Amino acid sequence: MNRSLPNILLLISVSSCGASEGQRASLAYDVNGRRTLHAYDLKPAKSLGQAEIIAQRLYGTRNLQRPDEAYFCTSRDTGPDQYINRRNQSGRPSKIFLACRFGTSRWSPPANLVEAATEHAKRESAVIRIEWDRLPDRYALKRFEIELDHRPALDFRSQNLTEQELSALDIRVHEMTIPSSPQEDFIFHLTARVPSRQNSGIKAVGPIIPVEIEGSAMPMPEWLLY
């Protein structure tokens, strides 16, 4: 599929994204040479971290858990019929929210928040948040956010892009499988050319960065503190 406008996305079924064992998805970008980051299977860690302990004390939650891997890929239905779909165990999502964290290699962050933040600051990583709305005949792209920490050459964020900006990103959906139930993976493959800026809402001052994102996102579990 070769489309530049996000409001004409079509559905294309695929059987596999070719990820290696334990690897869920990848994000490749080009800044003075192509770099590839990875996301892995999502499983709960065997012990609580400081963030979960704080959440329990503040809000009384008992089912939150940190993931065993810092880099993972998930999706969920954030639309008004999400609870109906979950109860009936079926139904096309009215919205698809794709949230992934990518890194150069597997990493299990320490439980201590300061130690985890210090280690994270040394790592090359990326975060994406993408959302589609269901229309009668297709899913339309409504949100595209990417944060890319390229060490040491680039600190880049391009967030909260408007619909006017979306049309200029040359977003192309090559593969896309919409889950037919809350238990199914969301499979995707898309490319874009995103402007670099230091924070959301400010003028882009850096290079235009080609990115390619592909893989499968498992349903976001209830226990995940994201």
Rounded average pLDDT over 7-18? 33
pLDDT confidence tier of residue 114, bands split at 50, 70 and 90: confident
Q: Tell me what pLDDT residue 129 has.
A: 92
CB 16 within 8 A of CB 137: no
- Residue 165, φ and ψ in degrees, nearest 5: -70, -35
Enumerate residues 6+ apart whose C-beta is below 8 A from 39. 23, 24, 25, 26, 27, 71, 72, 73, 100, 101, 102, 103, 215
Rounded average pLDDT over 141-168? 70
Element (H, E) at 163: helix 163-166
Question: Is the pLDDT at 187 greater than 80, yes or no?
Answer: yes
Rounded average pLDDT over 157-177? 76
Q: Tell me what pLDDT residue 200 has.
A: 60
Query: Residue 51 and residue 112: Cα distance in Å, rounded?
Result: 8
Rounded average pLDDT over 51-59? 72
Q: Tell me what pLDDT residue 17 has.
A: 39
Rounded average pLDDT over 154-164? 60
